[in-house]
């Protein structure tokens, strides 16, 4: 009967009736519920609903009336539930009453039906009531106590679905589950109706969301700031052509979790001009002004009343900016031009920036986030401090954390407001800014360190460029007085904010003597080298016009990371090896100047979402063997599993929990892709953003080689050498990143061939899971047995998916890169499959490649040749495979060392097969991965940020 109800055939929210019923009653109930309006002639629709309700009332003692637009007769056993909100109750009847209230009085659907989407929205609104009450209490508590608060700025927050996480943190999962069963719905099925919030894409956004969960759980005063993207990044569709991008539709039916704050709105200005008044103050006037309007999403802590907020900005313009005269004149597009220009700022996450218009839009996005958020922080600072506030107290009340370089404009915006609006001196404003802002670096890739064209920024943000130029000049002046003269030119080149920009005269004059001496020396050397004839001298001095034209001056840019380092009081990396690379390579000159600025804060993930809620089967086993659920808040207790790792009973429990997750994933894969996979096979998973440095190409080349070897072996030998394996991939390639999209295409082409090969059967399957997001991860990760984290050493800052897999008892295969280094240390070398070159070897290996010294392994060539043979279709993979060939050149020379690491990767995969054949050994490895994961809780990371960078204290709501 539950199937019929959830399929929407019950018109009025019929009640769950399977519990305690005989087969005959179930059959009768299904017959009644199974009638549709159109299929039953001559009888009113309500008749069948009433019959069904009377049937269910006979079956159970306690009944809750249906949500309907028409009344119905009560049965003798029926208890009418009032439609009334009850935001803080654990009572099932009260929760059901709250759901009914929202279905009736905050409707978004037709009142004639109570289908599953309606049930989801009403349930979410019911949960939100509890969150709003706690959110208000938290806000009032912070308002009264006026603590120092951290404001976390990020362009991404990859939240995932909110319902199960919220009721889990509120400890109401069972109560809501039972309440929904009384309406004929299963909680998990209702939760699946929620779309993932399209507010992020990858690890950057998921880290921010994990941090908010920990901040709320640990009772820290905090606030998140982001943008409310209408269409997200994109919805990924996989076709025969590969990845196709479609706009996300997550807001089409509304978002029941957000709270519009129409009273919270700030002006954000673009373009215009800067004038200096008679008093010497700068005034930024004219241009375009939009409004940033706040939408709050409550973030509940686990087992605490504290509920903080993620404040998302949406962009619009006032009604008076609509040109009514133009509209009435038939110029409709012109009339709404201002509105369209404002709204598109928050349309798409990371709009393509291959055009000047795309770059302009991205810069608008970043400034909107920074400007609205800084204005909001200042408003709250004044509100909490009262009329006698002092600006010198600002850093003791406000901590701003810039998650990567996207929020860098917070620096000049804070300075602009303090100097131009609040009237502070430059010196005082600069001291306040430096004490307030901190910067987290997430990459060592040069292309990921943001650089904005100077002319674009001058056009869009003229006042901010003046401020940035002043910071740059003052920083250069400080270098003159602190850096050795012989190192000055190099240091300036590496550290100044403005690149390819002429030096200020004062700095240039210091360097001129050295430059003149150098040129004179070079001229003397040339004269002594050869006694040129007059004709030769003449030819030497002739400047050919075409050569003059060939010299292209590089564009002037603003280096945002350098601005972050100069302005911030702390700079942190996100894994131990990454932080060392930051100090030794990326920002080495800065580190030598300010070693005290640099810290490491190894990333973490919330154990609530990623283990307790995503993997209830394994969580029950952990709780059973540790004796309580205290590990959810104190992950150090997970290490207690080590002493039971070889216990046969624990191993049986562990295997059963893993298999339940694998069966669930197999059903999910069939539903999403049509592929049939066996739960008895090894589940090998790589899910992350598709990028060449993350080396999904290495993985699929390994699969190709494995498939070729399987085909070459007799059937009996195949099973002896290889264990059955399902290789799963997931992740999005950026829409204009063609090489990444070719990798997606190759994975799917390989899967299409392998999965339909009857000779191979279940020995090998290849699955690409489309539209990878948090909800997909919550199904994949609990079922994983082997997970691939195989980036070129030294290029992955940290990674967080590796931590999620370890928490869930998954064994990793990977390089010594990012957090892999620390995970391997914590779980033990024997419980991690290591391969590949080390980070300190990479530069020399690339140099050897350039010199033509690299000799490819025959197995590597074999895999490439197999693809070239057309074994996986007629698609031309030449541009993809060419990137792995040659020694130098753009798109060639195997920059990410796939060929270099391929042999050791294949050998590590052979070790995986051998280990998996011994299931007792493998299960022990799995247990020890969970036991070794405590360090990678985001709770630990947040405690370190709070203590070492933000200087904030825990402040639980009483």
Task: Decide: 746 and 700 in contact? Cβ < 8 Å.
Answer: yes
Task: Decide: 798 and 780 in contact? Cβ < 8 Å.
Answer: no
Query: Please, is 171 exposed, middle or buried when counting C-beta atoms within 10 Å of its C-beta (0-12, 13-18, 19+)?
Result: exposed
Place of tokens 């009260």: 94
The DSSP annotation for 351-365 comes to ---SSHHHHHHHHHH
**In whole angstroms, what is the distance from residue 922 CA to residue 928 CA?**
10
C-alpha distances in angstroms, 871 versus 711, 840, 876, 902? 12, 38, 12, 20
662 as an active site residue: the answer is no
Q: What angle do CA 130, 135, 137 make, to 5 degrees?
A: 100
Tell how far CA 264 is from the center of its chain: 27
Place of tokens 């029950």: 620
For strands 63-64 and 78-79, give the pairing.
parallel
**In whole angstroms, what is the distance from residue 932 CA to residue 944 CA?**
19
Place of tokens 């942190």: 572
First-to-final CA distance of the chain:
45
924 as an active site residue: the answer is no
| Residues across the chain | 958
Q: Which residues make Cβ contacts (< 8 Å) with residue 614, sequence separation at least 6?
A: 777, 778, 781, 782, 808
Query: Please, is 936 exposed, middle or buried when counting C-beta atoms within 10 Å of its C-beta (0-12, 13-18, 19+)?
Result: buried
**In whole angstroms, what is the distance from residue 296 CA to residue 282 CA?**
34
19 as an active site residue: the answer is no
Count Cα neighbours of 742 within 13 Å in the Cβ-side half-sphere.
16
Place of tokens 């897999």: 805
Secondary structure (3-state) at 88: coil
Catalytic, out of 118, 362, 688, 742: 688
Count Cα neighbours of 893 within 13 Å in the Cβ-side half-sphere.
14
Catalytic, out of 578, 694, 718, 935: 694
Least Cα distance to 679 among 721, 718, 725, 719 occurs for 725
442 as an active site residue: the answer is yes
868 as an active site residue: the answer is no
Inter-axis angle of helices 173-181 and 92-105, nearest 10: 60
Catalytic, out of 800, 815, 923, 930: 800
Least Cα distance to 695 among 777, 824, 801, 789 occurs for 789
Q: DSSP character for 424?
A: -
Task: Decide: 342 and 316 in contact? Cβ < 8 Å.
Answer: yes
Query: Please, is 76 exposed, middle or buried when counting C-beta atoms within 10 Å of its C-beta (0-12, 13-18, 19+)?
Result: exposed
**In whole angstroms, what is the distance from residue 4 CA to residue 63 CA?**
19
Task: Decide: 559 and 540 in contact? Cβ < 8 Å.
Answer: no
923 as an active site residue: the answer is no
**In whole angstroms, what is the distance from residue 19 CA to residue 147 CA?**
51
**In whole angstroms, what is the distance from residue 569 CA to residue 855 CA?**
47
**In whole angstroms, what is the distance from residue 303 CA to residue 217 CA?**
7
C-alpha distances in angstroms, 592 versus 485, 487, 492? 15, 12, 13
Catalytic, out of 442, 559, 601, 695: 442
Torsion of Cα atoms, 937 then 938 then 944 then 947, to 10°: -130
Rg (CA), the chain: 31
Task: Decide: 821 and 602 in contact? Cβ < 8 Å.
Answer: no
Catalytic, out of 362, 578, 689, 849: 689
Structure tokens at 613: 């809620």
Q: How many CB atoms lie within 10 A of CB 470?
A: 14
**In whole angstroms, what is the distance from residue 697 CA to residue 747 CA?**
8
Among all residues, which ones are annotated catalytic? 442, 688-689, 694, 800, 804
């Amino acid at each position: 009967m539950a199937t019929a109800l959830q399929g929407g055939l019950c018109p009025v929210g019929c009640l769950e009736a399977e519990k305690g019923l005989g087969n005959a009653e179930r059959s009768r109930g299904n017959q009644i519920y199974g009638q549709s309006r159109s299929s039953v002639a001559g009888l009113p629709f309500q008749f069948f609903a009433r019959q069904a309700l009377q049937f269910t009332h006979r079956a159970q003692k306690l009944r809750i009336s249906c949500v309907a637009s028409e009344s119905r007769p009560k049965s003798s056993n029926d208890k009418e539930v009032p439609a009334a909100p009850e935001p803080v109750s654990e009572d099932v009847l009260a929760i059901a009453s709250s759901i009914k209230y929202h279905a009736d009085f905050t409707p978004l659907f037709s009142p004639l039906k109570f289908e599953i989407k309606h049930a989801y929205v009403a349930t979410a609104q019911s949960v939100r009531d509890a969150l709003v009450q706690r959110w208000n209490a938290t806000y009032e508590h912070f308002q009264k106590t006026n603590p120092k608060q951290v404001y976390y700025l990020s362009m991404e927050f990859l939240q995932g679905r909110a319902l199960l996480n919220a009721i889990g943190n509120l400890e109401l999962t069972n109560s809501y589950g039972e309440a929904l069963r009384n309406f004929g719905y299963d909680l998990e099925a209702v939760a699946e109706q929620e779309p993932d919030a399209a507010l992020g894409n990858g690890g950057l956004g998921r880290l921010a969301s994990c941090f908010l969960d920990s901040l709320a759980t640990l009772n820290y005063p905090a606030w998140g700031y982001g943008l409310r993207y209408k269409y997200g990044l994109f919805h990924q569709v996989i076709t025969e052509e590969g990845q196709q991008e479609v706009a996300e539709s997550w807001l089409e039916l509304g978002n029941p979790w957000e709270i519009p704050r129409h009273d919270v709105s700030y002006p954000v200005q673009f373009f215009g001009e800067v004038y200096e008044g008679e008093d010497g103050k700068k005034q930024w006037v004219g241009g375009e002004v939009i409004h940033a309007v706040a939408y709050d999403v409550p973030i509940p802590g686990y087992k605490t009343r504290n509920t903080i907020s993620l404040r998302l900005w949406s962009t619009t313009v006032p009604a008076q900016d609509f040109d009514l005269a133009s509209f009435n004149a038939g110029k409709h597009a012109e009339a709404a031009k201002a509105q369209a220009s404002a709204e598109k700022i928050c349309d798409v996450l990371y709009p393509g920036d291959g055009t000047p218009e795309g770059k302009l839009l991205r810069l608008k996005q970043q400034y909107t986030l920074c400007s609205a958020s800084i204005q909001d922080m200042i408003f709250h600072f004044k509100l909490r401090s009262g009329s006698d506030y002092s600006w010198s107290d600002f850093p003791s009340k406000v901590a701003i954390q810039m998650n990567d370089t996207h929020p860098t404009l917070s620096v000049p915006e804070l300075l602009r407001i303090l100097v131009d609006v609040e009237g502070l001196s430059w010196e005082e404003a600069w001291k306040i800014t430096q004490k307030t802002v901190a910067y987290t670096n997430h990459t060592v890739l040069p292309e990921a360190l943001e650089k904005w064209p100077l002319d674009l920024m001058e056009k869009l943000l003229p006042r901010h460029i003046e401020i940035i130029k002043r910071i740059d000049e003052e920083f250069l002046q400080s270098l003159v007085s602190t850096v050795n003269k012989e190192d000055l030119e190099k240091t300036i080149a590496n550290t100044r904010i403005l690149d390819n920009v002429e030096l200020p005269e004062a700095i240039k004059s210091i360097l001129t003597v050295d430059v003149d001496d150098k040129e004179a020396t070079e001229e003397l050397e040339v004269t002594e080298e050869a006694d040129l004839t007059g004709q030769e001298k003449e030819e030497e001095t002739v400047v050919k016009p075409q050569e003059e034209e060939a010299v292209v001056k590089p564009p002037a840019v603003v280096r945002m990371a350098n601005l972050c380092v100069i302005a911030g009081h702390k700079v942190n990396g996100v894994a131990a090896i990454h932080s060392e690379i930051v100090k030794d390579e990326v920002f080495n000159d800065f580190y030598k100047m300010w070693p005290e600025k640099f810290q490491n804060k190894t990333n973490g993930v919330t154990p609530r979402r990623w283990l307790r809620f995503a993997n209830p089967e394994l969580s029950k086993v952990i709780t059973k063997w540790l004796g309580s659920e205290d590990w959810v808040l104190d992950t150090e207790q997970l290490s207690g599993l080590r002493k039971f790792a070889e216990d046969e009973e624990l191993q049986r429990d562990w295997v059963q929990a893993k298999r339940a997750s694998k069966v669930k994933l197999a059903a999910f894969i069939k539903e999403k892709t049509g592929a049939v996979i066996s739960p008895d096979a090894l589940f090998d998973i790589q899910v992350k953003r598709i990028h060449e440095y993350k080396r999904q190409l290495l993985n699929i080349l390994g699969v190709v080689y494995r498939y070729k070897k399987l085909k070459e072996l007799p059937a009996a030998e195949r099973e002896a050498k290889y264990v059955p394996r399902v290789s799963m991939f997931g992740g999005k390639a950026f829409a204009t990143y063609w090489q990444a999209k070719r990798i997606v295409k190759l994975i799917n082409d390989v899967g299409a061939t392998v999965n339909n090969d009857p000779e191979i059967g279940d020995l090998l399957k290849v699955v690409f899971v489309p539209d990878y997001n948090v909800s997909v991860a919550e199904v994949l990760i609990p079922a994983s047995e082997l997970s691939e984290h195989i980036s070129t050493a030294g290029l992955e800052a940290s990674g967080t998916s590796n931590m999620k897999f370890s928490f869930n008892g998954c064994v990793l295969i990977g390089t010594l890169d990012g957090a892999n280094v620390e995970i391997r240390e914590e779980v033990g070398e024997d419980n991690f499959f290591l391969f590949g070159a080390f980070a300190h070897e990479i530069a020399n290996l690339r140099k050897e490649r350039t010199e033509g010294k690299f000799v490819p392994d025959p197995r590597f060539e074999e895999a490439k040749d197999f693809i070239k043979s057309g074994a996986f279709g007629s698609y031309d993979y030449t541009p993809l495979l060419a990137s792995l060939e040659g020694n130098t050149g753009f798109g060639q020379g195997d920059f990410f060392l796939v060929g270099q690491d391929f042999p050791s990767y294949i050998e590590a995969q052979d070790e995986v097969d051998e280990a998996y054949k011994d299931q007792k050994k493998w299960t022990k490895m799995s247990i020890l991965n969970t036991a070794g994961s405590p360090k990678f809780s985001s709770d630990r990371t947040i405690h370190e940020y709070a203590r070492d960078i933000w200087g904030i204290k825990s402040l639980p709501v009483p």
